[in-house]
Amino acid sequence: MKQTFLNDAPLIPATTPATWLGVMGGGQLGRMFAHAAQAMGYKVAVLEPAEDCPAAHVAERHILADYDDEIALAEMAALCVAVTTEFENVSHHSLAFLGDRIFIAPKAACVSIAQDRIAEKEFFTQCGVASKVLPAPYRNIASPADIDSVPADLFPGILKTVRLGYDGKGQARVTSVDELRIAYANMSGVQCVLEKMLPLAYEISVLVARGADGRALVYPIAENVHRDGILFTTTVPGPNVGAEAAEIAQNAALAIIDQLGYVGVLCIEFFVLEDGALVVNEMAPRPHNSGHYTIDACITSQFAQQVRAMARLPLGDVRQHSPAIMLNILGDVWFEANSDQPREPAWDQIVALPGAVLHLYGKAEARRARKMGHITFVAPTLAQANVQLTAACAILGIDL
């Protein structure tokens, strides 16, 4: 069986029998997806091997199993009318297994490209004519011998693992062939790419959604600041993003999502270089941390959009009604500064800030560098949102 659902009827929520949507993965993205699906009248099943996880706390059904457990996947397919994924490292096999049985968005082939930096870069290069944006110069490093033929102009560079990298993990910055040899040896023999280090002016992400009818919509361009490899803040509209960069990014995102034949929410990260040129970095085949602001600042959140796309309903309005800044809350704020002494952050003071919307993911244990929640600061102007961000950081002991 192949996916031939594109002309099928929309999966309108019903209570008898209940209409179920499924999500692979039980993290915070699955939790916020469940909230959005339930708000529209669907019931939600989560397939996730961890017992106590953010999405299982809210879903009507938790299928407690590994992502590649075929009995569990068959149960998911029998229960649900459509399935999506919040965890991009679900295997191609599992998604194809589901895709043979029910509608899945995005489809397995799209997720596979995003799971593999080389496939992703090759895809971006191949659609460069349509998107008018290319990835950073790079070289595949699959063995120590590949290092001998690395062109000198790729230094300084960043060595990245081809698979399973996130939040800056699986990366090493290198300035010479010798450093590259050492860094590659430390990657335990996994396949890598060496990317040229580019002079970044700022980083943006473009959230784009495509419905089953092929219609695509782009959210406002978001500007991201990372700290220690982890997203720190997202500001929308991006304060540095000029009209020209916004147009290039928007058109590139539309070209990329069309060429993929993608259904669902896709987040594409771009670098804007000091000379104003855009470079496409990577894509996440799902709602993304940099799109969390849409819950509080847009007509249709990225999660509600994912629900619509997978249910083959028309996409929702992506209009942003207020400027917004999103601050990630890491486990660090549960500890006194420079000590292991635990503390409870003063959430009462945070929620007292005008326009501050607190989201906590219900994780049982706060660990440093672990994403525990986020705060969206919504205000009539970005300057006002910034005032509240500054106040919140002072309350939480976060250096700005």
Q: Which residues bind ligand ATP (CB under 6 A)?
A: 136, 158, 165-169, 171, 195-198, 200, 203, 226, 229, 269, 281-282
75 makes contact, choosing from ligand ATP, Mg ion, none, with CB < 5 to 8 Å by partner type, with none
Shortest distance (Å) from residue 281 CB to Mg ion: 6
Q: Which does 195 bind (CB under 5 to 8 A by kind): Mg ion, ligand ATP, none?
A: ligand ATP
Nearest Cα neighbor of 281 from 218, 203, 226 is 203
What whole-number distance in Å separates Cα of residue 76 and Cα of residue 101?
Answer: 10
Cα–chain center distance at 99: 21
Residue closer to ligand ATP (CB basis): 169 or 319: 169
Q: Which residue has the tokens 């929308």?
A: 236
Q: First vs last Cα of the chain: how many Å apart?
A: 53
Question: Which of 281/302 has CB closer to ligand ATP?
Answer: 281
Nearer to ligand ATP, 197 or 346 (CB): 197
Cα 252 from Cα 266, distance rounded (Å): 13
Minimum CB distance to ligand ATP, residue 168 (Å):
5
Select the binding partner of residue 120 from Mg ion, ligand ATP, none (C-beta < 5 to 8 A, by kind). none
DSSP for 305-343, written as a single string: HHHHHHTTPPPPP--B-S-EEEEEEEGGGGB-TTS--B-
**Which SS3 state, helix, strand or coil, does residue 81 take?**
coil
- CA atoms 313, 247, 136, 174: torsion sign: negative
CA distance 355 to 375: 10
Closest distance between Mg ion and the C-beta of residue 269, in Å? 5
The stretch among 37-45, 237-245, 266-274, 291-299 that binds Mg ion (CB under 5 A) is: 266-274
Q: Which does 165 bind (CB under 5 to 8 A by kind): Mg ion, ligand ATP, none?
A: ligand ATP
Question: Shortest distance, CB of residue 256 to ligand ATP, whole angstroms?
Answer: 16
Least distance in angstroms from the C-beta of 196 to ligand ATP: 6
Backbone Cα Rg of the chain: 21
Q: Which is nearer to Mg ion, 131 or 290 (CB)?
A: 290
Sites of contact with Mg ion (CB under 5 A): 269
